[in-house]
Copies of this chain bind each other. A is one copy, B any other.
Amino acid sequence: MRIVITGGHGFLGRAVCDELLRRGGLAGQPITEIVLADRAAGTEVPQARSVLGDLHETLPRVFAEPVDAVIHLAAAVSGESEADLDLGLRANVDLTRGVLDAARAQQAAGGPTVRLFFASSVAVYGADAALPLPDAVTEATYPQPQNSYGAEKVVCEGLIADYTRRGLIDGRVARLMTVSVRPGKPNAAASGFLSGIIREPLAGVPAVCPVDPAQRVVISSPRRTVEGIIAMLEAERGTASGQLTGRLPVNLPGLSVTVADMIDGLRRVAGDAVADLVSVQRDPAIEAIVADWPPRFDNTRAAALGLQPDASIDSVIEQYLADHHSQTK
């Protein structure tokens, strides 16, 4: 299997790459090559090939040899997409169409049908004056994104469902929960603080919580997120238990916690001195965005694929400490 990871040098792309290298195979097939396609290089991965540059331009190189699977993670994040509509449309919609059409052209030329994983987002959900959010969101909940990033994800979900229906690709869409704790630097996502309030204090750096600590959020650790992505790619299609049914996206499981729960968890795991580095400075702009996020999900479909949320916020923080001890004090 030749596997392409777009956004492959991003945090999640690298984590998926590492896990695939550890496993050596995907869906029962040995992995022959992993291609990390990204705009710019992160740290080097000797066992993978990097193809760097604008994906619109590098796609012909990526598809010069047969591609069996694409894990399409490349995206402009929510903050960037909201600040610059054209950037978001290009990075989130047009690039996805580029990937779909490259896969389609490969098949039309007699090559393999690409198994494609698309990382959608819970940003597709939101409340509208005409239709409030239900208490627990399911995949049947009507998506009403309240930011351009979420709208662009909905657009891609629709295109992928149609290309899959036509048999041009074998598309699998999962909506990722907010990944926490992300290592590295803050990004422009509105959800960034949900990693920052854990990561920064653990590194001895003060962090700001921009929302009411009573705010309920849904998070997923990097490991559980990577597990979900690979499970979606490996799932057999069918209607039996444990199979991937239809073309509906799957909401990956998440842990529903309040922000106060997260800070309390940090206190239990790392002590008062660390937790006291978090101060609350409410930012109405971020509060307005976060207030639109669904506080709870029904994850029946993910559970049918064997996927469970993290056990507790404490285990999420302990996992971060185990995986990134060099970045903590």
Contacts and interface: CB of A to CB of B under 8 A. Distances in A.
Contacts of A301: 130
A323 B128 CA distance: 40
Interface residues of A, number: 33
A193 to B, nearest CB: 23
A145 B130 contact: no
Interface stretch (A29-37, A150-158, A270-278): A150-158
A17 interface: no
B144 A151 contact: no
A231 interface: no
Interface string A236-270: 00010000011110000000000000000000000
A311 interface: no
A159 B151 contact: yes
Number of copies: 2
A245 B130 contact: yes
18 contacts: A89-B97, A129-B239, A130-B245, A130-B247, A130-B248, A131-B139, A141-B142, A142-B248, A143-B158, A144-B246, A145-B161, A145-B162, A148-B162, A151-B159, A151-B161, A151-B162, A154-B158, A155-B158
Minimum-distance CB pairs A-B, first 8: A130-B246, A151-B162, A129-B246, A128-B246, A130-B248, A130-B245, A154-B158, A140-B142
Interface of A: 85, 89, 97, 128-131, 139-146, 148, 151-152, 154-155, 158-159, 161-162, 165-166, 168, 239, 245-248, 301
